[in-house]
Amino acid sequence: MKKVTIISLFVSLIVSSFAFANEVNIFNARHYKADNELYSKFTNKTGIKVNLINGKAGALEKRMIEEGTDSSADLYITADAGRCGAFKAKGMTQSGLVSPTIKSSVPKSFRTTHWVGVAKRARIIYYSPERVTGAELSGLTYEGLADPKWKGRLVIRKSSNIYNKSLVASLIENNGKKSAAEWSKGVVANMARTPKGNDRAQIMAVAAGEADIAVANTYYLALMLSGNKGAEQQAAAKKVKAFFPNQNDRGTHMNISCAALVKGAPNKANAIALVDFLLSPEAQEHFTNNTFEFPMIAGVSPNPLVVNNLGLDFKQDLTTKVSSYGKNQAAALEVMTAAGWK
């Protein structure tokens, strides 16, 4: 009897170990319900169970930091390279997020050995075709948003917004902190109102005539046009046009949704397998058709709403490493705050 009990215990331990090894734990700060379907597909294909812990980026990061070596987190998935970079700077990620799929699919500017981009978005300019002329737009750059000709005509989110911090971080990387500080002053002087609301609110402000141009991410326009956010936002989206800045030099500012390998990840191999899956054509098409992001890999087309209303023929900034967004994040907030950017 005793022998049987010992054997049963041994078998139970083996089964438990196998179950633990056949899972992956994601701390997920992306707020898209469609992502859940993607993880279910991964489980169906591989047999690896996905344990999903959803939450806001700040809360998830705080939890992982507090748990330290006791954390079960394998991957931290979030919607900005600046967040992944800042998390790495806190010593919370580890090297080793590499594979043949990652190397062949993801451009070097969109990855490190600690974290990898799985989808792309651009932060662009939206304008009113009734109040903004082609001459004003010709050759327009992010730097040009500080031009006095835009005084009282620009809307943009708060300085604390992560997308703006990454945009300004890229300007620091390309032009230096002093130049970015002067630029921030010019942008503040050109604001049509005190910053408020999300990216969609900026687009709606242009549609309502409160401003002539706005800065917002690409996928928001398609989201509004899809009707998923109601008839009012759909109608507003139809009143604006998209413009891609810096086409005559480095290209339009790009950002990513990224997956970071958490320090001490208990299921590292499964985490890498999941990232490989997220870079597959099937997963990339899921991203483009549900979140309206740009695909990370070649050979996959954006959603028709993106293609028809934003276009594909634009120059992306592939020279500025998105790892600089985290590195320059504190400096970006500093120059914006000093300029009076609320």
- The pLDDT of residue 280 is 98
Yes or no: say if 71 and 51 are a contact pair by the CB < 8 Å rule: no
Pick among 2.60.40.10, 3.40.1710.10, 1.20.1250.20, 3.40.190.10: CATH of 122-253+321-338: 3.40.190.10
pLDDT along the chain (342 residues), means of 10: 42 40 93 90 97 96 95 97 96 97 97 98 98 96 98 98 98 98 98 98 98 98 95 97 97 98 97 98 97 96 94 92 96 98 98
Lookup: tokens for 184: 């921030």
Whether 122-253+321-338 and 2-120+255-301 are alike in CATH topology: the answer is yes
With b for 16 or more beta-carbon neighbours within 10 A and e for fewer, the 273-310 pattern comes to bbbbbbbbeebbebbbbebbbbbbbeebebbebbeebb
pTM for the whole structure: 0.91
**DSSP conformation letters of 171-189:** HHHHH-HHHHHHHHHHHHH
Where exactly are the structural domains of the chain? 2-120+255-301, 122-253+321-338
CA 207 to chain centre: 25
CATH architecture of residue range(s) 2-120+255-301: 3-Layer(aba) Sandwich (3.40)
Type of residue at 7: I
